Amino acid sequence: MNKPAASPIHPLVLMQVESRLSEEQKAIQTVVREFAAKELKPNIATWYEDGQLPARDLAKALGGIGVLGMHLQNYGCAGTDAMSYGLACLELEAVDSGLRSLVSVQGSLAMFAIYKFGSEAQKQEWLPKLASAEVMAAVAVTEPDYGSDVANLTTMAVKGTNEEGVEGYIINGVKTWCTFAARANVLMLLARTDPDRSKTHRGLSLFIVPKPLGDAHGFMFKQPGGGKMEGRPIDTIGYRGMHSYEIAIENWFVPADHLIGEESGLGKGFYYQMSGFENGRLQTAARAVGVMQASYESAVEYANNRKAFGHNIAEYQLTQVKLGRMAVITQASRQFSYAVAKLMGKGQGQMEASMVKAYVCKAAEWVSREAMQIHGGFGYAEEYSVSRLFVDARVLSIFEGADETLCLKVIARRLVEESNAK
């Protein structure tokens, strides 16, 4: 009599990954994992089907457990390390990409620039509100004609005054891929403050741009002085519910003290924002590991319950080979991400963050595809989570710098520069 096939050993057990974490890191991972299992996972299918995330409520809940800006010190932030931040992103991504995006947009792309380059007054004013989700942020960098070519952005910010005589900047331009923009209180907006376009990235500055709250769909707001901001949602094949927007901005006034770094920040916005993107690339890699983890677990569960020709498909060698390769790649990606997180915790690893992002995100596409393949036709059905994981994995190679741009403009360039310096 044939014995039933044993479940494949989970790669986390095989590699004893969690034993290498500190007690604090384990505790943080447990808190986020339990929060995700209790508060998020039961609702994901409904949110996905409806195309709606209760973003502001979720942001406040995530702020309540301390994960917004958790790697930053003081100003209402938890003060953990890059590894802990990555673990939190991994656990959230394993449940849903939109939820994790909320954390990294707020923590890496918005809060980090203020934390590192803002004036003390700006830190005191904005960081506690962002950490608690009293204020929710969106990032407005990309433009319809300029994606990775950030240095050539055309949105202009010109010095001027509002109808009350307050000095500041008047902004005109169009931004796109502004995630959660309708539900945000502020935009972290990169604009050209020097009209001389030959200065490229040296003419850009970064602003905190307050805006009214909208709903999950299109919005249009006006300022008393005639400024206008209009946003339309961008329909996407995945990441349903988080909504990214294209925003047209006309004569929108921002007070002078909303320039990051104030007067000393003029022309430095590119560097300020890119530092946030470098920080965010590690978190994107962690997201990819989360997708792989969820894909692997779904594939194992399905393989142990799906019968074909009288046997669970987990008993067939072809399935076992697929699961084995998925486990190997997932663990290699996890270890790579952990190693880079340790480097970044020491203030190093900027190039390595680009490397791990480029590799791990591509790996996530393959692992989620194999999980889908194990599910057969049901892998294409929305009732199974692997269909969502597969679609969400695809965009990871584009977010936070497309693979091609990272390999050419960041990784290869730095390697050549370092080689020539020797």
Question: In the block, which residue shows the tokens 């360039």?
Answer: 413
On average, the pLDDT of the chain sits at: 85
The one catalytic residue in 163, 400, 404, 417 is: 400
Q: Give the pLDDT confidence of 144-193 residue by residue, as tens digits.
A: 988 777 888 999 999 999 999 999 999 999 999 898 888 899 999 999 99
Closest of 227, 143, 125, 224 to residue 189, by C-alpha = 143
Q: How far apart are CA 107 and CA 82, in angstroms?
A: 12
Residues of the chain with CATH 1.10.540.10: 11-132
Beta strands 204-210 and 219-222 are: unpaired
pLDDT at 13: 52
- In this structure, the number of other CB atoms found within 10 A of the CB of residue 32 comes to 25
Question: In the block, which residue shows the tokens 């990606």?
Answer: 333
CA angle, 287 then 292 then 293, to 5°: 95
**C-alpha distances out from residue 257 to 18, 206, 283, 337, Å:** 45, 11, 30, 37
- Percent of the chain scoring above 70 in pLDDT: 90
SS3 68: coil
Cα within 13 Å of Cα(410), Cβ side = 25
Q: What is the mean pLDDT of residues 275-284?
A: 73
* pLDDT beyond 60 at 17: no
Pick the CATH number of 272-421 from 2.40.160.20, 1.10.3720.10, 1.20.140.10, 1.10.357.10: 1.20.140.10
Query: Which pLDDT band, with edges at 50, 70 and 90, does 1 fall under?
Result: very low
- In this structure, the number of other CB atoms found within 10 A of the CB of residue 91 comes to 27
Query: Tell me, what amino acid is at 247?
Result: I
CA angle, 365 then 369 then 373, to 5°: 175
Least confident of 98-112, 220-234, 324-338: 98-112
* pLDDT beyond 80 at 367: yes
- Percent of the chain scoring above 90 in pLDDT: 39
Q: Give the pLDDT confidence of 334-360 residue by residue, as tens digits.
A: 888 888 888 877 777 778 888 888 889
Query: Which pLDDT band, with edges at 50, 70 and 90, does 274 fall under?
Result: confident
Q: Give the pLDDT confidence of 317-327 residue by residue, as tens digits.
A: 999 999 999 99
Residues of the chain with CATH 1.20.140.10: 272-421
Q: How far apart are CA 288 and CA 364, in angstroms?
A: 5
The two three-digit tokens of residue 88, written as one number: 């939190």
Told to judge if 404 belongs to the known catalytic residues of this protein, a careful annotator would answer: no
Q: How far apart are CA 184 and CA 312, in angstroms?
A: 48
CATH code given to domain 137-267: 2.40.110.10
pLDDT at 405: 73
CATH code given to domain 11-132: 1.10.540.10
Contact 242, 55 (CB under 8 A): yes
Closest of 237, 220, 238, 240 to residue 229, by C-alpha = 220
Across 55-155, the runs of DSSP E, i.e. the strands, are 137-140
pLDDT at 100: 65
pLDDT at 227: 95
Largest CA distance in the chain: 88
Q: What is the mean pLDDT of residues 198-224?
A: 89
Closest of 319, 208, 258 to residue 327, by C-alpha = 319
Q: What is the mean pLDDT of residues 368-397?
A: 88
* pLDDT beyond 70 at 3: no
The two three-digit tokens of residue 235, written as one number: 């329909």
pTM of the model: 0.81
Q: What is the mean pLDDT of residues 80-103?
A: 77
pLDDT at 7: 52
* pLDDT beyond 90 at 110: no
* pLDDT beyond 60 at 5: no
Query: Tell me, what amino acid is at 105?
Result: V
Q: Give the pLDDT confidence of 115-151 residue by residue, as tens digits.
A: 999 999 999 999 999 999 999 999 999 999 887 778 8
pLDDT at 242: 67
Residues of the chain with CATH 2.40.110.10: 137-267
pLDDT at 89: 80
pLDDT at 341: 81
